[in-house]
Amino acid sequence: MSFFSRPHYVSPATTFINNLKAANPEMEAQQRAGRELLWDKHINTESRDQAQAAQVAQKPYVYQTKSNLV
């Protein structure tokens, strides 16, 4: 057993989350649905590849539109 191991200790935050999940068993499914709605997007790789291929290289100095040296 490790010197730093404290199997008997459960933090207040962990206790709160465990109690919240026990009181609302449908909460985890709602969290997964929310994550799917906001983050789990299907990427169209063909459109992404076309956009990358259509990029134009940036000039070294963006704000200089034409050369002032004559």
- pLDDT tens profile 44-67: 999 999 999 999 888 788 787 776
> What pLDDT score was predicted for residue 52?
93
Does residue 35 carry a pLDDT above 60?
Answer: yes
Write phi, then psi, for 24 (nearest 5 degrees).
-130, 80
* Average predicted confidence (pLDDT) for the chain: 85
> What pLDDT score was predicted for residue 9?
86
Q: Is 16 part of a structural domain of the chain?
A: yes
Q: Is 48 part of a structural domain of the chain?
A: no
Domain count for the chain, please give it. Answer: 1
> What pLDDT score was predicted for residue 1?
58
DSSP result, the chain: --TT--TT---HHHHHHHHHHHH-TTHHHHHHHHHHHHT-PPP-HHHHHHHHHT--PPPSSTT--S----
Q: Is 37 part of a structural domain of the chain?
A: yes
CA distance 13 to 32: 21
